Amino acid sequence: MGVEAESRPRVGILVGSQSDLPKMEKAADVLRTFGVPYELLVLSAHRLPDRVAEYAKQAEERGLQVLIAGAGMANHLAGILAAHGLLPVIGLPLSGSALHGVDALYSTVQMPSGVPVATVAIDGAANAAYLAVEILALADGQLKERLKKHRASERAKLEITVKQPG
């Protein structure tokens, strides 16, 4: 269903380390499927805090509409982006630590009132992108149609599976 993507990125994907990049691939795949242009950066909230704050402050004027932030361990990347900007931030806790991502889940989801982060499952990169597409589709009729068709085709696959048990 790949669609010719526009040029200017609409979704900013950030990860906390190079080591996180493989876990974020499914998010990029989903956005490409829907023809949603994105940018992908490695920016650590703890190792490049000023750069993360600057990115968040400039994101909306650069044309970005949704941010996806993936990190493991003490994942503060999503929270810092949410704190410095007004764009919706989708937090993606990543596994790989001694605590298998539960540390990242708790440090992503437990945001204080007034500074929300929409948090998806540990390593749920695909859903982070689907949620971003759903948000963009609220004001983009063509994208909404693509989403409807995609959802219908996915359900059709499941129905075929149900009809051919064993």
Chain residues in the site for ligand RP5 (CB under 6 A): 16-17, 19-20, 44, 71-73, 94, 96
37 or 96, CB closer to ligand RP5?
Answer: 96
Task: In angstroms, give the least distance from the CB of 144 to ligand RP5.
Answer: 32
Burial of 95 (0-12, 13-18, 19+ CB in 10 A): middle
Cα–Cα distance measured from residue 58 to residue 140, given in angstroms and rounded to the nearest whole number: 23
Task: In angstroms, give the least distance from the CB of 45 to ligand RP5.
Answer: 7
19 or 153, CB closer to ligand RP5?
Answer: 19
Task: In angstroms, give the least distance from the CB of 20 to ligand RP5.
Answer: 5
Q: Which residues 6+ apart lie within 8 Å of 91 measured at CB?
A: 69, 70, 75, 78, 79, 108, 109, 117, 118, 119, 120
Structure letter (DSSP) for residue 36:
-
16 or 36, CB closer to ligand RP5?
Answer: 16
